[in-house]
Structure 1
Amino acid sequence: MLLSPLAERNWEDVCSVLEEVLENQSHRELFALELGSGTGQHVTRFAQKIPFDVKWQPSDIKDECHESIKAYIAATKAKTVMQPVHLDASESWEKWAGIARNSCDIIIAINLLQYSSFKTAEGVFSGAGQILRQNGLLMLYGAYAINGIITPSSNEDLDAELQNMNAEWGLPDIDVLRQLAYGNGMRMERMIEMEEYNKCLIFRKF
């Protein structure tokens, strides 16, 4: 079982946003896909805390993450969390673990695009445009640039650190993501300021 101190710090704030954006759909069963579930801390916490009827599908590309997610599911006895699937968001949606078109109510990705190439960002929006239902939501959490500008200095340092780890990584630009969304049948509905200079971006499929 892996432990992410960052996930322990931010899960509650992210969960509050999730509750708020899903509240008007809480009268029916919802299907949620998490991209890049990592340790499994977020998805199992969400399943425990959110009072709505949500079936959660965690996913990741790493085998060690799958084992950790399974351990968290077992430890928390989270009956609404499905077993993790292998999913590479940079691939076309047809390879997204057999998830059907128009089947998801919400897709969530926490600190995924910052640790990914632009091809993954393109894949996330392309895939979301296919597998989200009409009015379905894509929710992204993390630190971002806005129109090429990164603030404050701590986020500049984070961007430099990420690019030192991998030249294709770094803080995505919200304006670029907005264009990707529109090209895939979604529009950015809200940008919510979060702790530690992070943001939640909410995109809706139209």
Structure 2
Amino acid sequence: MILVKNFVSGGMRNKINYPSAERNKFFILEVLRKHVDGGKAAKMLEIASGTGQHAAYFGAKFPRLTVQPSEIEEGMLESIGAYASEVSTKNVKPPLKIDVNTDPSRWGTEADYDFVLNVNMFHVTPLACSVAFFKNCSKILKPGGLLFTYGPYANCGVLEPESNVDFDRRIRQRDPNCGVRDIQDLSKIAAEHGVSLRAIYDLPANNKCLVWQKA
């Protein structure tokens, strides 16, 4: 993790830089480009924006896409805001504090998003957060809207390669409620909330990007 001092109007603010976010943003962008029409105005909500690196990067690449970042950890909100303020197209909004486990009526945001993005949340949170993600994000998505989720996943009970197996073991040793989720389990949860799996993209570093669609 790298901490960068960023001068913006109103004083000096802290930007946090995760090297992993810098690496994977390029691969996630390629998936987004397959499904997001850059020529059309649209809105995307990012759940668990982390440092804000992704929101700023994708906002700059899709100037007609209004990006609303969010995060539950207050310590990250300043970093997200700093990144957002640097996007010259001004289409990345200041971050909202959102707990995905709460009803969207408490999120302080709109209810007609075209897209929802989530990066690296499912495996580091209890399964209840994955359930809440599909339940609550389906409420704020337009019919036909897409959800993009990125991270390590098992599929049909198989987790590959061995490095992901070791990664999953370390996560569960720290917190038995967390761990790499199986795509088939997530698909069942999503289906209960009118969401179905549309595509699976295998990406570098043994991660996947899943594309889901609301009915």
TM range (shorter): over 0.9
RMSD (Å) for aligned C-alpha atoms: 1.3
Contact 1:92 / 1:126 at 8 angstroms: preserved in 2? no
Which residue is 1:100 aligned to? 110
Q: Deviations over 1:169-189 (max 9, x none)?
A: 110110011111111111101
Name the SS for the 2:16 alignment partner: coil
Letter in 2 for 1:9: R
Matches for 1:39-54 after TM superposition, within 5 Å: 39-50=51-62, 53-54=64-65
Matches for 1:1-206 after TM superposition, within 5 Å: 1-23=15-37, 26-50=38-62, 53-95=64-106, 97-101=107-111, 103-206=112-215
Distance in 1, matches of 2:193 and 2:170, equals 31
More helix by share: 1
Letter in 2 for 1:192: Y
Q: Which has the larger radius of gyration?
A: 2
Name the SS for the 2:153 alignment partner: coil
How many correspondences in the alignment?
201
Percent pairwise identity:
30
TM-score by length of 2: 0.89
Structure 2 stretches lacking a partner, 5+ long: 1-14
Letter in 2 for 1:152: P
Distance in 1, matches of 2:73 and 2:125, equals 14
Distance in 1, matches of 2:193 and 2:99, equals 18
Contact 1:93 / 1:126 at 8 angstroms: preserved in 2? no
Structure 1 stretches lacking a partner, 5+ long: none
Which residue is 2:5 aligned to? none
Letter in 2 for 1:98: G
Name the SS for the 2:165 alignment partner: helix
Name the SS for the 1:193 alignment partner: strand
Name the SS for the 1:72 alignment partner: helix
More strand by share: 2
Contact 2:59 / 2:87 at 8 angstroms: preserved in 1? no
